């Protein structure tokens, strides 16, 4: 299903670790939806878990999104907005939808085990709903503090999922979710719903681990008389061996991928296209990626993220990258030797930083490797005079072949070793004019040049 006019979307990570490639998938899908249709993108830091949330992770999230090309229109922090959640909680209490419970984790655990032993689903039995004011007062006098559960309406909650189509969850089989902990702090659910409503979020697109939450959240939105946004749940990414990704484990963090020299557009293209009906292919801008993205083409099965596939995609992207795009990056690496240099080396790069390996091969000094002196001396004497150009290599090696009778590897490898000091590298036809006649002559004479 297409997303219609001016969507307001959000990406809502908790700042408890570094973003990984699976988070990038969610962030990018939202960003592309927003940008494609002239909408807005909100970054919401879900930092109500005070113990695990860290400001340095919040900063890292902003920086990693920027690296991908995502510049949120606005950033909000849930820890700044507790009063708003308190107000919503009071409304739900007044409506009888949020009720106090006094069971300890141990008591709940024992109850669950009894249910399971009797073959019953381990659903909260709502015992606390039956407590009268006196019983509550007695429990509180014992020093117990309540946690608060949302009273779900029984029955099916259905929605038209942007990715999965007609979807439904039977709320009769769910426990009433805890929204407020004993210490008064909020679990993720209520703040998320309140923020989505207040910020006018029109499309909530996130991983399919949130499908059940969506049913609960739709009930809470209705209980608060708020508009229900469109929901979409994309498949999750796993590692190549099928494990889930975890922010806390630093698995395939964007930071790590970036530090290993990968292009943000390679990461973005793979993050968005893997596990969809679209072929994973190099895409050179987020705009172009947005034009390809179709939520209904995302597969239902989990998608495997393979680092080798990412590296291959990165290389492909570099091989096709126009000079104008590469130039600032080359300059930053201190190896911008101009367009012909880029044209000569890009086909040999796995990561952009490899370009810095080839620049000194052009500019020197290179220690030539000369094994067969007589052959190299003969080749040197045949080096064409005048300025070198595109055809110099062909003319020269033609002449060397005619004079020495050598062909193939026996002809080319000694020349490569003498000219570059290496046994592999970019096409010499393109490198030789960059090396130039003077340096070539010296290297063919065995001189460091």
Q: Which of 419, 406, 423, 424 is nearest to 446 (CA)?
A: 419
DSSP class of 9: E
Shortest Cβ 13–ligand GLU spacing (Å): 5
CB-nearer residue toward ligand GLU: 192 or 239: 192
Rounded CA-CA distance 438/449 in Å is 9
Stretch that binds ligand GLU, among 7-15, 133-141, 255-263, 283-291 (CB under 6 A): 7-15
Rounded CA-CA distance 106/104 in Å is 5
Q: Which of 406, 358, 409, 417 is nearest to 382 (CA)?
A: 406
Shortest Cβ 157–ligand GLU spacing (Å): 16
Considering only 13, 39, 275, 421, the residue that binds ligand GLU (CB under 6 A) is 13
CB-nearer residue toward ligand GLU: 204 or 418: 204
Q: What is the DSSP string of 199-233?
A: TT--EEEEEGGGHHHHHHHHHHHHHTTPPPPEEEE
Shortest Cβ 206–ligand GLU spacing (Å): 4
Binding mask 174-193 for ligand GLU (x = CB under 6 A): --------------x---x-
Stretch that binds ligand GLU, among 12-20, 248-256, 272-280, 287-295 (CB under 6 A): 12-20
CB-nearer residue toward ligand GLU: 190 or 330: 190
CB-nearer residue toward ligand GLU: 92 or 204: 204
In the range 26-85, which residues lie near ligand GLU by CB under 6 A? 46
Considering only 35, 149, 203, 206, the residue that binds ligand GLU (CB under 6 A) is 206
Dihedrals phi, psi of 421, to nearest 5 degrees: 75, 10
Length of the chain: 449
CB-nearer residue toward ligand GLU: 48 or 397: 48
CB-nearer residue toward ligand GLU: 97 or 210: 210
Rounded CA-CA distance 236/300 in Å is 9
Shortest Cβ 336–ligand GLU spacing (Å): 40
CB-nearer residue toward ligand GLU: 96 or 244: 244
CA 362 to chain centre: 36
Interaction of residue 228 with ligand GLU, rule CB under 6 A: no
CA distances from 100 to 13, 142, 149, 335, 348 (A): 29, 15, 7, 66, 65
How many CA atoms are closer than 13 Å to the CA of 410, on its beta-carbon side? Answer: 6
Q: Is 37 helix (H, G, I), strand (E, B) or coil?
A: coil
CB-nearer residue toward ligand GLU: 7 or 100: 7
Tokens of 223: 């209980």
CB-nearer residue toward ligand GLU: 84 or 333: 84
Shortest Cβ 300–ligand GLU spacing (Å): 19
**Distance separating the N- and C-terminal Cα atoms of the chain:** 62
Q: Is 304 helix (H, G, I), strand (E, B) or coil?
A: strand
Q: Is 167 helix (H, G, I), strand (E, B) or coil?
A: strand
- 154-171 CB burial, b ≥16 within 10 A, e <16: eeebebebbbbeebebeb
Q: Is 379 helix (H, G, I), strand (E, B) or coil?
A: helix
Stretch that binds ligand GLU, among 9-17, 280-288, 347-355, 394-402 (CB under 6 A): 9-17
| Count of residues of this chain found to bind ligand GLU when the rule CB under 6 A is applied | 8
Tokens of 435: 């090396």
Considering only 3, 9, 14, 164, the residue that binds ligand GLU (CB under 6 A) is 14
CB-nearer residue toward ligand GLU: 213 or 420: 213
Dihedrals phi, psi of 369, to nearest 5 degrees: -105, 110
- DSSP percent split of the chain into helix, strand, coil, nearest 5: 50, 15, 35
Considering only 3, 9, 12, 268, the residue that binds ligand GLU (CB under 6 A) is 12
Cα-based torsion angle of the residue sequence 4, 165, 207, 59 in order, rounded to the nearest 10 degrees: 0
Stretch that binds ligand GLU, among 10-18, 141-149, 220-228, 358-366 (CB under 6 A): 10-18
CB-nearer residue toward ligand GLU: 238 or 325: 238
Shortest Cβ 318–ligand GLU spacing (Å): 32
Shortest Cβ 166–ligand GLU spacing (Å): 21
Strand partners, 178: 149
Shortest Cβ 285–ligand GLU spacing (Å): 26
For ligand GLU, the binding residues (CB under 6 A) are 12-14, 46, 188, 192, 206, 210
């Amino acid at each position: 299903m297409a997303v219609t006019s001016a969507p307001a979307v959000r990406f809502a990570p908790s700042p408890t670790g570094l973003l990984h490639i699976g988070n990038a998938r969610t962030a990018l899908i939202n960003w592309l939806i927003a940008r494609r249709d002239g909408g807005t993108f909100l970054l919401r830091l879900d930092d109500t878990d005070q113990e695990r949330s860290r400001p340095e992770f919040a900063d890292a999230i902003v920086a990693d999104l920027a690296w991908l090309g995502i510049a949120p229109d606005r950033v909000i922090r849930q820890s700044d907005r507790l009063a708003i959640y308190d107000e919503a909680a009071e409304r739900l209490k007044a409506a009888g939808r949020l009720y106090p419970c006094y069971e300890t984790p141990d008591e709940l655990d024992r109850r669950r085990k009894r249910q399971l032993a009797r073959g019953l689903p381990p659903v909260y039995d709502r015992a606390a709903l039956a407590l009268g004011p006196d019983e509550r007062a007695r429990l509180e006098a014992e020093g117990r503090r309540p946690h608060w559960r949302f009273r779900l309406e029984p029955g099916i909650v259905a929605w038209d999922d942007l990715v999965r189509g007609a979807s439904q969850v039977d709320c009769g089989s769910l426990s009433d979710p805890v929204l407020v902990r004993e210490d008064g702090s909020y679990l993720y659910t209520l703040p998320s719903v309140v923020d989505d409503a207040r910020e006018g979020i029109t499309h909530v697109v996130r991983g399919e681990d949130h499908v059940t939450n969506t049913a609960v959240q739709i009930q809470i939105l209705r209980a608060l008389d708020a508009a229900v946004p469109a929901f979409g749940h994309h498949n999750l990414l796993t590692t190549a061996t099928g494990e889930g990704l975890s922010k806390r484990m630093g698995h395939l963090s964007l930071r790590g991928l970036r530090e290993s020299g990968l292009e943000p557009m390679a990461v973005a293209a793979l993050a968005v296209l893997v596990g969809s009906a679209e072929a994973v292919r190099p895409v050179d801008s987020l705009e172009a990626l947005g034009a390809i993205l179709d939520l209904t083409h995302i597969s239902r099965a989990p998608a495997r993220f393979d680092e080798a596939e990412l590296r291959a995609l990165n290389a492909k992207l570099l091989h096709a990258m126009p000079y104008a795009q590469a130039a600032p990056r080359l300059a930053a690496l201190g190896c911008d030797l101009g367009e012909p240099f880029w044209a000569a080396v890009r086909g040999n790069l796995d990561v952009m930083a490899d370009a810095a390996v080839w620049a000194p091969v052009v500019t020197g000094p290179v220690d030539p490797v000369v094994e067969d002196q007589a052959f190299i001396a003969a080749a040197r004497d045949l080096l064409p005079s005048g300025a070198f150009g595109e055809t110099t290599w062909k003319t020269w090696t033609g002449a060397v072949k005619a004079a020495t009778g050598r062909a193939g590897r026996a002809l080319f490898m000694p020349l490569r070793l003498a000219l570059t000091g290496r046994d592999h590298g970019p096409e010499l036809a393109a490198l030789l004019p960059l090396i130039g006649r003077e340096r070539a002559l010296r290297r063919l004479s065995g001189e460091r040049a």
